[in-house]
């Protein structure tokens, strides 16, 4: 993409001071849509313009997962589209590690207790020290977890589509070899994008292969886990537990067994809170505007044929 | 302490394979009490011998906190006594960080929820990224937390009795200056030994100075916090919350308000589970036997006048 000097960027659907500052600090200027070379969008797909001017060569979307933008037929091949994948990586990584620690240390059932059940709980306390943690779909978010897990004395096995070695992981395998990880790793963090290929990646067979003390964390999308199979595994205590920030169905309906299983912890899709940990999207926008202005490759480009 | 070749060490009150291996790997040999130069004790004070042979020049106790050994009049000044302070540091540090993450990310109230309360919970999710965490009583356990907190992008303020700079902390203050920390730090980990000086270190005044989003973690002893003042602060939401592995009274009785406050998380004194994360005490014993055999200063010596 050729350099454009001070690019004219439309910020929509509403003004946002932090994002405006990110655009300006990245070397861009705010412009109406009709004059814009690029669009930074902080809203959802429903309010997105039906047609973009031909001059718009780049659109920055505000979320890391972009299924709804594909489903709405908004992403086209006439310009570059970028997601916010990576922008929220530090927050999502922190949440994922928090969930795995909560699981392994038994904090879920302990938080629900209303009496001093030391003898019972103490026998189930585990540690990340010396544990092997598989990060399934080890992209930007997974890579942000590696130094965290490593600090606790754990080792990371990475699984990626290509199998290209991930720095900091003791081993990286291609997603086609995931099956061998289910029995090898002590715990799992599901961090892969939601695509047709990753739907129900964690199914009854995967669960059956896992160690009886294994915890599964999902901070990706609920569809990556077969919920019914997971509920069975948790009920039978054939795995240690599951800590899920995303569920299928989502929102998880009242009365669903996952609400009451002692070895399940649910957080309502807030690993990247919308409130929320302000500044992370603005920093991503700043970095991408700078790259746009200088003609460098943009962060987190969407590939239509890949689906994310 | 002069070197003793292959020291004769009594392991009591019962045999323990991991500790026996620690003694042997450290260069010692197992011996009956009457022939022993040193004692490694894995039981409590109740079963401790009434009198030790004069030849016993060192006693290794199995716990990090040793109030009960002082209270029982067991620790004397006729030999060197060492605690297990430090042995459990990795486990206790992991638990402390888990508790603070659980607090800051809201996992306690989320774990108790039985419906998808995203809008409500999401506004309260915080992060350790950019936070300043004061470790009050930053000894071996506190020092083991520093690389963990640092990995999450937090800074550590250390408070120690002497104020001697703690490596990795951005600043170390003497305990006499704790008062200024209450308003400066975002969150607190209480890790000081229980002594007359540290009793109710966190009192109503300290709590009143803290930020309204501050979480307090206690992995030391319940007596370091004024429980009634804490319950008031939590009820009034004048602080973010408290995650406590130790309580006063302990065990926390059924019906105590700390069991039901949404911003309190209680774990029943299992940061160092007795089950438990095997090998940590054995490693400490191995290191100390090696030092005893070669005449080096022992790890974690107890100082009677200091009280720990």
Mean pLDDT of chain B: 94
Which of B:151-210 have CB within 8 Å of A? 151-153
Cα distance between residue A52 and residue A267, in whole Å: 37
For chain B, give the percent of residues with pLDDT over 90: 85
CB atoms A129 and B94 under 8 Å: yes
B274 → chain A, closest CA residue:
A122
Residues in chain A closer than 8 A to B128 (CB atoms)? 94
pLDDT of residue A5: 83
pLDDT of residue A278: 59
Q: Is B15 on the interface with A (CB under 8 A)?
A: no
Contact at 8 Å (CB) between B117 and A268?
A: yes
Residues in chain B closer than 8 A to A268 (CB atoms)? 110, 113, 116-118, 121-122
Cα distance between residue A233 and residue B13, in whole Å: 41
DSSP A265-296: EE--S-SS-TT-STTHHHHHHHHHHHHHHHTP
Which of B:121-140 have CB within 8 Å of A? 121-123, 125-129
Number of other residues whose CB lies within 10 A of the CB of residue A18: 15
Which tens digit of pLDDT belongs to each residue from B90-118?
999 999 999 999 999 999 999 999 999 99
Which of A:246-265 have CB within 8 Å of B? 250-254, 259-260, 265
* Bigger pLDDT: B86 vs A21: A21
pLDDT of residue A230: 98
Which tens digit of pLDDT belongs to each residue from B275-285?
555 578 898 99
Query: What average pLDDT does range B130-137 have in this prediction?
Result: 96
Cα distance between residue A11 and residue A144, in whole Å: 28
Which tens digit of pLDDT belongs to each residue from B202-221?
999 999 999 999 999 999 99
CA dihedral in degrees (A65, A68, A71, A77; nearest 10)?
-60
Contact at 8 Å (CB) between A28 and A41?
A: no
Q: How far is B52 from chain A (nearest CA, A)?
A: 32
pLDDT of residue B57: 97
N-terminal to C-terminal alpha carbon distance within chain B: 20
User: Which structure tokens are listed for B185?
Assistant: 């730090």
Q: Which of A89, A90, A94 to mutate to test the interface with B (most CBs of B within 10 A)?
A: A94
Contact at 8 Å (CB) between A258 and A244?
A: yes
Cα distance between residue B206 and residue A114, in whole Å: 27
Domains assigned to chain B = 8-87+275-294 (3.40.50.720), 89-266 (3.40.50.720)
The SS3 assignment for B67 reads helix
DSSP helix, strand, coil percent of chain A (3-state; round to 5)? 35, 15, 50
Q: How far is A151 from chain B (nearest CA, A)?
A: 6
Instruction: Report whether the peptide linkage leading into residue B11 is cis, meaning its omega lies within 30 degrees of zero.
Output: no
CB atoms B111 and A102 under 8 Å: yes
CB atoms B113 and A259 under 8 Å: yes
Supply the ipTM of this predicted assembly: 0.81
Q: How far is A277 from chain B (nearest CA, A)?
A: 7
Residues in chain B closer than 8 A to A266 (CB atoms)? 110-111, 113
pLDDT of residue B61: 95
Sign of CA dihedral B159, B160, B165, B168: negative
How big is the CA angle at B99 (ends A157 and A274), to the nearest 5 degrees? 75
Per-residue three-class SS string for B210-241 = CCCCCEEEECCCHHHECHHHHHHHHHCCCCCE
Query: Per-residue confidence at B306, pLDDT binned at 50, 70, 90?
Result: confident
pLDDT of residue B273: 85
pLDDT of residue B3: 58
Q: Which of B93, B101, B105 to mutate to test the interface with A (most CBs of A within 10 A)?
A: B105
Q: Is B118 on the interface with A (CB under 8 A)?
A: yes
Helix A140-151 / helix B140-151 crossing angle, nearest 10 deg: 170
pLDDT of residue A2: 54
Query: Per-residue confidence at B307, pLDDT binned at 50, 70, 90?
Result: confident
What does the pLDDT profile of chain A (308 residues) look like in tens digits?
555 689 999 999 999 999 999 999 999 999 999 999 999 999 999 999 999 999 999 999 998 888 899 988 999 999 999 999 888 889 999 999 999 999 999 999 999 999 999 999 999 999 999 899 999 999 989 999 999 999 999 999 999 999 999 999 999 999 999 999 999 999 999 999 999 999 999 999 999 999 999 999 999 999 999 999 999 999 999 999 999 999 999 999 999 999 999 999 999 999 988 755 557 889 899 999 999 999 999 999 998 877 77
Per-residue three-class SS string for A166-221 = CCCCCEEEEHHHHHHHHHHCCEEEECCCCCCCCCCCECHHHHHHCCCCCEEEECCC
Q: How far is B244 from chain A (nearest CA, A)?
A: 11
Q: Is B112 on the interface with A (CB under 8 A)?
A: yes
User: Which structure tokens are listed for B42?
Assistant: 């894995």
């Amino acid at each position: 993409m050729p350099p454009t000097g001070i690019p004219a960027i439309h910020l929509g659907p509403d003004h946002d001071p932090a994002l405006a500052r990110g655009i300006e600090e990245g070397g861009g200027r705010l412009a109406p849509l009709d004059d814009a070379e690029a669009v930074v969008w902080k809203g959802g797909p429903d309010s997105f313009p039906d047609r973009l001017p031909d001059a718009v060569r780049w659109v920055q979307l505000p979320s890391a997962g972009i299924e709804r933008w594909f489903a709405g037929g908004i992403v086209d091949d006439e310009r570059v589209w970028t997601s916010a994948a990576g922008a929220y990586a530090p927050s999502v990584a922190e949440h994922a590690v928090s969930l795995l620690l909560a699981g392994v240390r038994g904090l879920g059932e302990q938080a629900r207790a209303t009496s001093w059940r030391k003898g019972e709980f103490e026998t189930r306390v585990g540690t990340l020290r010396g544990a092997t943690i598989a990060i399934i779909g080890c992209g930007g978010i997974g890579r942000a977890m590696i130094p965290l897990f490593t600090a606790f004395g754990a080792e990371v096995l990475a699984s990626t589509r290509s199998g290209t070695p991930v720095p900091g992981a003791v081993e990286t395998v291609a997603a086609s070899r995931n099956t061998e990880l289910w029995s090898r790793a002590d715990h799992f963090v599901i961090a892969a994008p939601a695509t047709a290929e990753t739907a129900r990646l964690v199914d009854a067979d995967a669960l059956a292969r896992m160690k009886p003390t294994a915890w599964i964390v999902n901070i990706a999308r609920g569809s990556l886990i077969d919920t019914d199979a997971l509920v069975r595994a948790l009920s039978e205590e054939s795995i240690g537990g599951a800590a899920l920030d995303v569920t299928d169905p989502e929102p998880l309906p009242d009365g669903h067994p996952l609400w009451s299983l002692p070895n399940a912890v649910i957080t309502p899709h807030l690993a990247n809170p919308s409130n929320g940990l302000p500044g992370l999207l603005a920093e991503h926008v700043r970095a991408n505007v700078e790259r746009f202005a200088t003609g460098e490759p943009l962060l987190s480009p969407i590939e239509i044929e890949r689906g994310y």
